Amino acid sequence: MVEALKIGLLGLGTVGTATAEILQSPERRNPVLNDITIAKVGVSNLEKPRQVQFPEGVLTTDLEGIVNDPNIDVIIELIGGLEPARSLILQAIAKGKHIVTANKAVISRYGEEIYHAAEQAGVYVFIEAAVGGGIPVIRPLQQALSVNRIQSILGIINGTTNFILTKMGAEGSDFAEVLTEAQELGYAEADPSADVDGYDAADKITILATLAFEEQVNLEDVSCEGIRQVSAVDIKYAKQLGFEIKLLAIAQRDETGLQVRVHPTLVPKDHPLASIDGVNNAILVEGDPLGQVMFYGPGAGGGATASAVVSDLMNIAAMVKTTASVNPLMKIPQHPAGQLVPIQELVTRFYARIICVDRPGVIGNLGTCFGKHNVSLESIVQIDFNHGIAEVVVVTHNVKEENFRKALAEIPQLEAIDQIQIPSVLRVLRENL
Amino acid sequence: MVEALKIGLLGLGTVGTATAEILQSPERRNPVLNDITIAKVGVSNLEKPRQVQFPEGVLTTDLEGIVNDPNIDVIIELIGGLEPARSLILQAIAKGKHIVTANKAVISRYGEEIYHAAEQAGVYVFIEAAVGGGIPVIRPLQQALSVNRIQSILGIINGTTNFILTKMGAEGSDFAEVLTEAQELGYAEADPSADVDGYDAADKITILATLAFEEQVNLEDVSCEGIRQVSAVDIKYAKQLGFEIKLLAIAQRDETGLQVRVHPTLVPKDHPLASIDGVNNAILVEGDPLGQVMFYGPGAGGGATASAVVSDLMNIAAMVKTTASVNPLMKIPQHPAGQLVPIQELVTRFYARIICVDRPGVIGNLGTCFGKHNVSLESIVQIDFNHGIAEVVVVTHNVKEENFRKALAEIPQLEAIDQIQIPSVLRVLRENL
């Protein structure tokens, strides 16, 4: 009989507790879990009441002690944040321990350093829980999908913003109102910036893009816009035009190179991502010769995320028993840092809502201005009219971002157009995706 | 440098050709593919023109020679059908070769025999391509999802029938008409029975259920109904009631045991499977603590299926290099054969379309008859009325199949109801799923 794999668990919040619960009740689960025991659990407060119980001496506040404990084989890092998480991971690797982490912030910023250290030490770093909660997506990207030439990854990978956008659309409510509601329900943090400004999604698409394309993507090169500027009226008009507005994280390779970005996007209603509602996540991967596959499920929550954490742990347990060296499909490939295509070079479609004084020739003047900058329009519609003020919605065909921005900048100078405002400019999923 | 893994490919149809194409162009794919070479390709006709070219001596009609060739490490079986596929697989295993197969018919019937032989020989049998084409679903079920207690698998796993049902719904056309169209487009075979009678879906759900639950499911115990009896008018009425009709393959465990079945099913429009259209497949897995995850993509086609075949092959290549013994997460677990819960014991909802002479009291009489057999109705609606004939649609709450069938059997004997016909009886996705 092989000796049980000994785990050091750092953090006992929602995910840590759910992880311990799975490991403490292995019946009707994979038998590989029988050979795993929790040796130490690092917490910040020993006195706090806990939903799970451990034998005397397992709980400790000495996290450094855990990562340096020679009896421990695997560290599960669930404390989140940048430090001390990064240092603890690196110390554990240096001591020859395998790592399982759900920490997207650390991996998106220090992934290269951590993978390199793991490579040197001959240990695994598993990160399935860092993206998409319980949805298996990291391992399929590393394994099954990697026989394809990946063309794009499109993800709804932040549940908070998807909940907010879904609710705004269903109720016609505005952003601020729904955010308050989401905070009350526990779907959004007191400081919502990481979610609503797109930073969480940017962390995750950086991780996915680095796995799927052969270059190390730098988080700071990822273009990132959140959903604060999306209004209920934009969602309404988008629906009338046949679109849903989603916060998409996009990594896409074409002849111009690799582009990675996060922004609210108008998605055609018949697109598989258009019907992903509420706190759910979905990741759509397109490759050659595979075509499009999509992974859908709960992108957060203790149980779902713990499912991913424990599946990583189980993989390590199975491999430690059977492998003589590190399985190349189970390690994160390291690539040189790449140069992303800047957002001005992006070719996509746009939606813009324009408000101005209504007078004959407004639509013609706008159309001429776009045409001058090579912006081909799909539609230009006067949607609303009040007290002499017109509201015009423009949807373009594929256009270079730079050209579209130049046309927009020129509109306020048009002679025939008065009191102009452009309250919303949103991207539309480009035509050939 | 490790010696290249040598492949014997049996069959060079659509999937075999696409498999060879991936292996012959490894650039921008996983580098593990660089160490794989195609040593032999078994075909039935050497003279046939081929889209892929091989060096002199690779193509052969001697399939037995390939599975017995001591230079070959892995056999990819893509000839389909039961024999000689089964015998060739068993011979190859006896010679210590690993197996990759897309053959759902062989695996659903002889999986136990084949897995047992592989266990004895210490080789892998990989079957990702047998279910869901290019969608990664077998490996997630074996690995990531297996830390959960799986409660149900619901799949749209036959593209032909999904195409037919989607088209019937969009155009209001009847089954026979759309089938002819599907045959002309190459989406349905000249003999369409395996698809339209549900046998292909039954093969696949047998494989998935055996992986997800700890019992060997016997194909002959799987209850199977196809889509021949689904009419355009049922699809129309279902839509009016808020449902889409899909051919679902269902494996579901509850307190009564495990039930595995294939039948057309009314799916509520807001259910993730309701919007899966055309030839696409989707598999929805529900487990504890994970919740629901769904895998979606092309369920057939040469390129998509070849993606799954090559990913299996790549996993074998990676493990052969690094493992000392068989990774327990990579082998198909063997379990004793289980007893499925018979269909009469099923608890589900029903839809029935009833035609009879219209007279006062018809709906009351029907309602009373259902009530007598403990069938609780959600709705009973007279949808249509022509020349003194009423068309009544009944939708039940959860009910035991046996009780519902008894009530149906009694309806023609009701005194107040004349000239009764019950042209359609369909199951509705049950309430707590």
Domain boundaries, chain A: 5-134+302-330, 138-297, 344-428
Asked if B325 is an interface residue toward chain A (Cβ–Cβ < 8 A), one would say: yes
In A, minimum Cα distance to B211 occurs at A30
Instruction: Kindly list the averaged pLDDT for each block of 10 residues, start to end, along chain A of length 433.
Output: 84 96 92 93 95 96 98 97 97 97 97 93 95 95 92 97 96 95 91 96 97 90 96 96 97 92 96 94 97 95 96 91 74 77 92 89 90 94 82 94 94 82 94 67
In chain A, residues with a C-beta closer than 8 Å to the C-beta of B21 are 289
Q: Is B14 annotated as a binding residue?
A: yes
Rounded to a whole number of angstroms, the distance from the CA of A45 to the nearest CA of chain B is: 26
Contact present, B265 and B426 (Cβ < 8 Å): yes
Q: Is B11 annotated as a binding residue?
A: yes
Domain B344-428 CATH class label: alpha beta
- What residue numbers of A does the annotated binding site for NADPH cover? 104
- Quick check: B28 pLDDT over 90? no
In chain A, residues with a C-beta closer than 8 Å to the C-beta of B127 are none
Mean pLDDT along residues B101-120: 95
Report pLDDT digits (tens) over B42-82: 999 999 999 999 999 999 999 999 999 999 999 999 999 99
In chain A, residues with a C-beta closer than 8 Å to the C-beta of B32 are 328-329
Rounded to a whole number of angstroms, the distance from the CA of B273 to the nearest CA of chain A is: 11
CATH number of A5-134+302-330, picked from 3.40.50.1950, 3.40.50.720, 3.40.50.920, 3.40.50.300: 3.40.50.720
Instruction: Give the active site residues of A.
Output: 204
Q: pLDDT value at position A2?
A: 55
Q: pLDDT value at position B353?
A: 95
Determine whether B239 is an active site residue: no
Helices (H), A27-74: 63-67
In chain A, residues with a C-beta closer than 8 Å to the C-beta of B287 are 307
Percent of residues, chain B, with pLDDT higher than 70: 98
Smallest Cβ distance to B147: which of A29, A147, A333?
A29
Smallest Cβ distance to B144: which of A302, A311, A328?
A311
Contact present, B367 and B392 (Cβ < 8 Å): no
Smallest Cβ distance to A293: which of B31, B134, B321?
B134
Report pLDDT digits (tens) over B342-379: 888 999 999 999 998 888 888 888 999 999 999 999 99
Contact present, B164 and B174 (Cβ < 8 Å): no
3-state secondary structure chain B: CCCCEEEEEECCCHHHHHHHHHHHCCCCCCHHHHHEEEEEEECCCCCCCCCCCCCCCCEECCHHHHHCCCCCCEEEECCCCCCCHHHHHHHHHHCCCEEEECCHHHHHHHHHHHHHHHHHHCCCEECHHHCCCCCCCHHHHHCHHHHCEEEEEEEECCHHHHHHHHHHHHHCCCHHHHHHHHHHCCCCCCCCHHHHCCHHHHHHHHHHHHHHCCCECCHHHCEECCCCCCCHHHHHHHHHCCEEEEEEEEEEEECCEEEEEEEEEEEECCCCCCCCCCCEEEEEEEEECCEEEEEEEECCCHHHHHHHHHHHHHHHHHHHHHECCCCHHHCCCCCCECCCCCHHHCEEEEEEEEEEECCCCHHHHHHHHHHHCCCCEEEEEEEEEECCEEEEEEEECCEEHHHHHHHHHHHHHCCCCCCCEEEEEEEECCCCC
Smallest Cβ distance to B140: which of A140, A287, A321?
A140
Confidence class of residue B1 from pLDDT cuts 50, 70 and 90? very low
In chain B, residues with a C-beta closer than 8 Å to the C-beta of A153 are none
Smallest Cβ distance to A148: which of B29, B290, B319?
B29
> Looking at chain B from residue 270 to 289, which residues have their Cβ under 8 Å from any Cβ of chain A?
272, 275, 287-289
Q: pLDDT value at position B2?
A: 55
Alpha-carbon gap, residue A103 to A84, rounded angstroms: 12
Higher pLDDT, A51 or B337: A51
Q: pLDDT value at position A8?
A: 98
Rounded to a whole number of angstroms, the distance from the CA of A134 to the nearest CA of chain B is: 6
Rounded to a whole number of angstroms, the distance from the CA of A39 to the nearest CA of chain B is: 20
In chain B, residues with a C-beta closer than 8 Å to the C-beta of A134 are 290-291, 293
In A, minimum Cα distance to B142 occurs at A30
In B, minimum Cα distance to A143 occurs at B311
**Contact yes or no for A290 and B272 at CB 8 A:** no
Q: Identify whether B360 is preceded by a cis peptide bond (ω within 30 of 0).
A: no
Q: Is B16 annotated as a binding residue?
A: yes
Contact present, A245 and A351 (Cβ < 8 Å): no
Q: pLDDT value at position A1?
A: 42
**Contact yes or no for B21 and A301 at CB 8 A:** no
- Selecting among B204, B239, B269, B331, the annotated active-site residue is B204
> Looking at chain A from residue 372 to 401, which residues have their Cβ under 8 Å from any Cβ of chain B?
none
**Contact yes or no for B289 and A22 at CB 8 A:** yes
Domain B138-297 CATH class label: alpha beta
DSSP state of A412: G
Smallest Cβ distance to A315: which of B143, B272, B301?
B143
Contact present, A174 and A227 (Cβ < 8 Å): no
Asked if A143 is an interface residue toward chain B (Cβ–Cβ < 8 A), one would say: yes
CA-wise closest residue to A86 among A111, A61, A59: A111
In A, minimum Cα distance to B308 occurs at A144
Report pLDDT digits (tens) over B181-221: 999 988 899 999 999 999 999 999 999 999 999 788 999 99
In chain B, residues with a C-beta closer than 8 Å to the C-beta of A139 are 139-140, 143-144
Alpha-carbon gap, residue B367 to B377, rounded angstroms: 8
Q: pLDDT value at position B324?
A: 67
**Domains B5-134+302-330 and B138-297 agree in fold:** no
> Looking at chain A from residue 73 to 112, which residues have their Cβ under 8 Å from any Cβ of chain B?
none
In chain A, residues with a C-beta closer than 8 Å to the C-beta of B272 are 296
Interface A–B counts its CB contacts (< 8 A) at 193
